[in-house]
């Protein structure tokens, strides 16, 4: 039976596809099967090597005997053993990496031996080596990445690793952030990103990076652009955060926005100015047209009267009809006076616009002033018309006598002109402590509502006054006079019911 068992073992030993090496505590090789010989690069028919060190080389000898001694001294349990990985220098052709699996020691004829199974570990070792290299490459890429990055454990938001760019950006040392919650160093998910991460697959890029303000270690606040990638590390989901400092970019964007707003504002202002210039040019053209039409009409009428009356005077002079001659001479005088008034209006407006009219403030008696104005105005009253005036308050005021006189004559002249025969015109002066209020009111044709916004414009004539003699300059001149005196002018008017003009002049001390 023993012989049969020996034959079976011998057959197994010789024909095993796995290399088997048996040696004693001195390293002397008791036997080596063909598979082991082939792995060590020894010819099958070649003599067996004498000692293990001849197979594995000196550099692995110490490590080998450390394992063997533990097995021989029973400090290693049977079946556990250890594996020694060696670069087989004997098999240069194949350059194999071998594994010596030292699992057991055996007894043969009272002698103890070590049994080592020899395997080709080349492929596995290369895979491990490539994996280590890959891991090292990843470490270097992560560490020296020009983009600040963190590796975060997804379950508790704790920082697992941080690269150099992040540490430099935030001013931390690596041991200050490892194991810390992101919120403790001023970082956190925005709400939208939290939702996206919770809904994302295990390994997925999270779209739509978020922007927010973060405080770095120094206390400075910076603008961050942050994006996420989910990855699996040892079956645990992690997030890789990529962060960029966009403080300068945001500042540049803000400056660009302000510049654009300023540019838009300037363009709007220039456009508005241009529109105003165009409107002004249009208005000036209209005023020129009105001026030509008004001047032609207003000059033509008295000139025609003068020409006609001069001819009649000549005719009546031959007949020695003195009464009719005097009548037409008066008409000529009136027409000349009218021409003079028209020219005075034009000259007054020109002087005001050229800045040649300056208020000359003097003290004068209001009662005397009103009497003089009344006498001039009454000479132009129509049949049956009358002026009723009232004067209250201080009798002595300080104002420009001539400007105020011209203003009153203009307003009273308009009231007379645009009221019918038999109409009453009221003129009230109230000299109060802080201002003087003057009102001129009539019950004439009034001013149409649509024309009222333009009544102080140069050459403007209300549509119900176009057949009545006038240049359209009077109220424009009055308004400019009142402005020279730092006063205000307003009016209330209803078509066919009359108009009231109200002046407010400040008291001058």
pTM of this structure? 0.42
**Residue 133: inside a domain:** no
The CATH number linked to 277 is 1.10.287
Per-residue DSSP letter, 462: -
CATH number at residue 380: 3.30.565.10
**DSSP per position, 398-453:** EEEHHHHHHHHHHHHHHHHHTS-TT-EEEEEEEE-SSEEEEEEEE-SS---GGGGG
Q: Which of 475-482's residues contact partners 24+ apart within 8 Å by CB, and which partners?
A: 475/410, 475/414, 476/349, 477/345, 477/348, 477/349, 477/352, 477/406, 477/410, 478/407, 478/410, 478/411, 480/349, 480/352, 480/353, 481/352, 481/403, 481/406, 481/407, 482/407
Q: What is the pLDDT, as a whole number, of residue 47?
A: 81
The listed range with the strongest mean pLDDT (75-89, 210-224, 274-288) is 210-224
Q: Which helix (H) or strand (E) holds 323?
A: helix 322-353
Does some domain include residue 140?
Answer: no
Instruction: Report yes or no: 367 and 405 within 8 Å, Cβ to Cβ.
Output: no
Residues 264 and 213 in one domain: no
Tell me how far apart the alpha carbons of residues 194 and 206 are, in angstroms, rounded to a whole number: 10
Question: Which of 245, 266, 292 is the endpoint of a domain?
Answer: 245
CATH of the domain at 89: 3.30.450.20
Tell whether 166 and 116 lie within a shared domain.
no
Check residues 41 and 312 and name the one with the higher pLDDT: 41
- Give the chain's domain count: 4
Give 212-255 pLDDT, tens digit per residue.
888 888 889 988 888 878 888 778 888 888 888 888 888 888 89
Give a yes or no: residue 472 inside a domain.
Answer: yes
3-state SS class at 17 = coil
**Domain end call among 329, 350, 371:** 350
165: in domain? yes
Same domain, 386 and 345: no
Asked if 405 and 439 sit in the same domain, the reply is: yes
Same domain, 240 and 336: no
Position 136 in a domain: no
| Length of the chain in terms of residues written | 509
Q: Are residues 498 and 363 in the same domain?
A: yes
Residue labelled with tokens 């009548």? 327
CB contact at 8 A, 410 and 371: no
pLDDT at residue 329 greater than cutoff 60: yes
pLDDT the model gives residue 78: 52
- SS (HEC) of 94-142: CCCEEEEEEEEEEEECCEEEEEEEEEECHHHHHHHHHHHHHHHHHHHHH
Give yes or no: residues 231 and 277 share one domain: no
- Which H or E run includes 499? strand 498-506
Q: Which residue has the tokens 């009111």?
A: 441
Give the model's pLDDT for residue 387.
Answer: 93
pLDDT tier at 299 (50, 70, 90 boundaries)? Answer: low
Task: Identify the pLDDT of residue 386.
Answer: 93
Sign of CA dihedral 355, 357, 363, 364: negative
The model's pLDDT over 126-164, given as tens digits with 9 standing for 90+, comes to 888 888 888 888 888 888 888 888 888 888 889 989 999
Query: Is the pLDDT score of 390 beyond 70?
Result: yes
Question: What is the overall mean pLDDT for the chain?
Answer: 80
Give the residue carrying structure tokens 């034009």: 346
* b/e burial code for range 103-126 (CB count within 10 A of at least 16 → b): bbbeeeeeeebbbbbbbbbbeebe
Residue 298 has pLDDT above 80, yes or no: no
What pLDDT, on a 0 to 100 scale, did the predictor assign at position 93?
A: 55
281 plus 371 within the same structural domain: no
Verify that 300 and 393 share a domain, yes or no: no
Whether 240 is covered by a domain: the verdict is yes
Same domain, 362 and 491: yes
Q: Give the H/E segment covering residue 250.
A: helix 247-319
Domain end, chosen from 183, 211, 245, is at 245
Q: Which residue range forms the structural domain that includes residue 205?
A: 145-245
- Mind listing the pLDDT tens digit for each residue in 254-282? 899 998 999 999 999 888 888 888 887 78
**Domain membership flag for residue 210:** yes
370 and 345 together in one domain:
no
Q: Is residue 139 part of a domain?
A: no
Contacts of 346 (CB under 8 A, 6+ apart): 471, 473
Query: Where is average pLDDT lowest: 46-50, 83-87, 414-418, 486-490?
Result: 83-87
pLDDT for the residue numbered 61: 77
Specify whether 438 is located in the same domain as 415: yes
Which residue in the block uniquely carries the two structure tokens 């009230």? 428
């Amino acid at each position: 039976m023993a012989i049969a068992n020996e034959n079976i073992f011998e057959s197994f030993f010789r024909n095993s596809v796995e290399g088997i090496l048996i040696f004693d505590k001195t390293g002397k090789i008791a036997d080596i099967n063909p598979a082991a010989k082939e792995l060590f690069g020894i010819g099958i028919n070649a003599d067996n090597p004498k000692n293990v060190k001849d197979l594995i080389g000196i550099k692995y000898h110490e490590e080998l005997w450390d394992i063997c001694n533990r097995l021989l001294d029973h400090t290693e349990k049977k079946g556990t053993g250890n594996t020694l990985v060696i670069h087989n220098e004997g098999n240069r052709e194949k350059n194999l990496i071998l594994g010596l699996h030292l699992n057991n020691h055996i007894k043969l004829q009272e002698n103890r031996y070590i049994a080592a199974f020899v395997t080709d570990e080349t492929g596995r070792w290369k895979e491990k080596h490539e994996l280590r290299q890959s891991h090292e490459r990843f470490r270097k890429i992560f560490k020296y990445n020009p983009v600040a990055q963190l590796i975060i454990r997804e379950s508790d938001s704790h920082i697992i690793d941080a690269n150099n760019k992040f540490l430099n950006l935030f001013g931390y040392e690596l041991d200050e952030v490892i194991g810390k919650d992101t919120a403790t160093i001023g970082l956190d998910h925005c709400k939208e990103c939290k939702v996206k991460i919770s809904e994302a697959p295990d390994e997925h890029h999270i779209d739509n990076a978020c922007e927010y303000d973060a405080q770095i270690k120094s206390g400075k606040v910076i603008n961050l652009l942050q994006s996420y990638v989910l990855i699996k590390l040892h079956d645990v989901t992690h997030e890789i955060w990529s962060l960029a400092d966009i403080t300068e970019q945001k500042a540049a964007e803000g400056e660009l926005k302000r510049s654009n707003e300023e540019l838009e504002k300037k363009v709007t202002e220039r456009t508005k100015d241009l529109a105003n210039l165009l409107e002004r040019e249009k208005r000036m053209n209209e005023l020129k047209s009105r001026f030509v039409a008004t001047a032609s009409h207003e000059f033509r009428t008295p000139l025609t009267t003068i020409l006609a009356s001069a001819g009649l005077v000549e005719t009546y002079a031959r007949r020695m009809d003195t009464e009719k001659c005097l009548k037409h001479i008066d008409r000529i005088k009136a027409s000349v006076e009218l021409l003079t008034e028209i020219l005075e209006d034009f000259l007054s407006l020109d002087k005001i616009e050229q800045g040649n009219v300056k208020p000359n403030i003097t003290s004068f008696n209001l009662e005397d002033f009103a009497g003089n104005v009344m006498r001039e105005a009454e000479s132009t009253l129509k049949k049956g018309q009358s002026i009723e005036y009232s004067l209250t308050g201080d009798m002595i005021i300080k104002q420009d006598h001539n400007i105020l006189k011209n203003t009153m004559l203009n307003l009273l002249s308009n009231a007379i002109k645009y009221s019918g025969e038999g109409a009453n015109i009221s003129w009230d002066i109230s000299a109060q402590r802080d201002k003087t209020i003057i009102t001129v009111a009539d019950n004439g044709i009034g001013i149409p509502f649509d024309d009222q916004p333009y009544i102080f414009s140069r050459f403007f004539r209300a549509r119900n006054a176009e057949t009545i003699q006038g240049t359209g300059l009077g109220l424009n001149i009055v308004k400019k006079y009142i402005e020279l005196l730092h006063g205000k002018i307003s009016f209330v008017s209803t078509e066919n019911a009359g108009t009231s003009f109200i002046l407010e002049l400040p008291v001058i001390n």
